[in-house]
Structure 1
Amino acid sequence: MDTASPSSTAAAPAADHLAVTPSILYFGTPVVLLTTENEDGSANLAPMSSAWALGQVIVLGVGAEGQSAHNLRRRHDLVINLPAPEQWPAVERLAPLTGRDPVPAGKRGTFRFAADKFGAAGLCPQPSDLVGPPRVAGCPIQMEARVAAARPDAAGDFLIVEARVLRVHADPRIVVSGTQHIDPAAWSPLIYNFRHYFGLGPELGHTFRSQTPRRRTS
């Protein structure tokens, strides 16, 4: 096997980095549709994109003023639903909505109250097995969970929730036949990348809060 000389394989030096101050730091994270239970027993549905897994625990960053945080401080059941890329329009229909009435001061002028967020998004609830809040029908992965710990973040803007997963529901089409494994070749998460929606491929669209909307080209 021939060995190339270092000079032939060395990459060209990168241009100097720029010091920037992005308004948000969602550098490619999965979208979650979070279902929680309101005080009257109805369901709240909210999109979020700060979620990551530690074994069987999912760590969530939830806006401190929102209905999801309000619910999770009092009722510890939740469902973490992972939508498919083609469901991004439903996610975006939820984006400007809040389940808080009156709308929190920090959200006024940007968000509006909606009591039936499933209906507003064009999504359907599906009964859960072990927790009160419903799953989101049509989401390829749904994780029933319960809050194990919750605390404010360092700035006080978010509630950091550690949720222990109790049961995972997966669309059979993304499960390796005869196993308990999700097939990564069949499963593509919906990714939130600096307020733009992606699957594992080209951009699909952008959120109403994006500061860098894609220009249309003819």
Structure 2
Amino acid sequence: MHKISELKVLYFGTPVVLIGSRNEDGSANLAPMSSAWWLGRSCMLGLGNSAQTAANMLRERECVLNLAPSSMVDAVDRLALLTGKTVITDRRLRQGYRHERDKFGAARLTEQAADLVRAPRVKECPIQLECMVDTTHPFGGPETNATAFHVRVVRAHVDEELIIPGTHYVDPLKWDPLIMKFCEFFGGGQNVHPSRLAEGWEMPHQLQRAVG
């Protein structure tokens, strides 16, 4: 029997993307997110307006979408509660966010130059998509606090081990994306790592695990 429920979170399961962008001073920024979907050569990204990445993309009109495999969950989790913003909202402070200028260093990842955009790639990510921002749309109702970015993929870099020989297709048996499901990390259908983000958002399963 179904039950009517006012769900707090609607993250039923989406791939984790590390968005590479450039700060105003030219330094690299890197941020994990999981509000993304693709159609053809385009992608729609949902970002909160308080994020440094949103400000960078509005200004620079470009980014790199670095797709993280489940094996990179440690690095992604190290970025979960970091922000490039020097001024942090009270809400984010309560969730445990702190300012970090060197995101690549904090995540122990390697910055790699892109070909067609200034934004950085992540060397360790087996799939890297260089993108240009085509359009932006306010998102989130009357009191808009987020932006939907329509980006266009202008170049794709894929580890050759993931490509089906003789084709331009990724082998789905070899590609195991890191999935965020209700603020928890999953890969290969299994919960692969505790999530700092779930702790910050006070997800009930995290609280039960903490006291159990």
Matches within 5 A, 1:42-121: 42-109=27-94, 110-121=96-107
SS of corresponding position for 2:43: strand
Alpha carbons 1:35, 1:78 under 8 Å: kept:
yes
TM-score (norm 1): 0.88
Q: Deviations over 1:124-183 (max 9, x none)?
A: 111100000110111111000000001210331211000000000001110011211111
SS of corresponding position for 1:108: helix
Cα offset for 1:22? 2.5
Inter-partner Cα distance in structure 1 for 2:20 and 2:66: 8
Q: Do residues 139 (structure 1) and 125 (structure 2) align?
A: yes
Q: Counterpart of 2:87 in structure 1: which amino acid?
A: P
Q: 2:159 aligns with which of 162, 171, 177?
A: 171
Q: 1:150 aligns with which of 117, 136, 141?
A: 136
User: How many residues were matched structurally?
Assistant: 201
Q: 2:3 aligns with which of 7, 18, 21?
A: 18
Inter-partner Cα distance in structure 2 for 1:64 and 1:54: 24
Q: 1:190 aligns with which of 178, 184, 189?
A: 178
The percent of aligned pairs where both chains have the same amino acid is: 42
Alpha carbons 1:35, 1:43 under 8 Å: kept:
yes
SS of corresponding position for 2:76: helix
Inter-partner Cα distance in structure 2 for 1:154 and 1:103: 21
Q: Deviations over 1:98-136 (max 9, x none)?
A: 000122344223210000011001111111000001101
Between Structure 1 and Structure 2, the one with more helix by share is: 2
Q: Deviations over 1:37-74 (max 9, x none)?
A: 10001111000000000110010001111001111111
Q: Deviations over 1:167-214 (max 9, x none)?
A: 000011100112111111111111000011111221102322321127
Inter-partner Cα distance in structure 1 for 2:58 and 2:91: 19
Max radius of gyration: which structure? 1
Q: Counterpart of 1:175 in structure 2: which amino acid?
A: I
Inter-partner Cα distance in structure 1 for 2:68 and 2:119: 17
Which consecutive unaligned segments of at least 5 residues does structure 2 have?
A: none
TM-score (norm 2): 0.91
Cα RMSD between the aligned structures? 1.4
Q: Deviations over 1:27-46 (max 9, x none)?
A: 00110000111000111100
Alpha carbons 1:195, 1:206 under 8 Å: kept:
no
Inter-partner Cα distance in structure 1 for 2:122 and 2:48: 21
> Which residue of the partner structure matches residue 26 of structure 2?
41
> Which residue of the partner structure matches residue 129 of structure 1?
115
Inter-partner Cα distance in structure 1 for 2:173 and 2:44: 25
Which consecutive unaligned segments of at least 5 residues does structure 1 have?
A: 1-15
> Which residue of the partner structure matches residue 189 of structure 2?
201
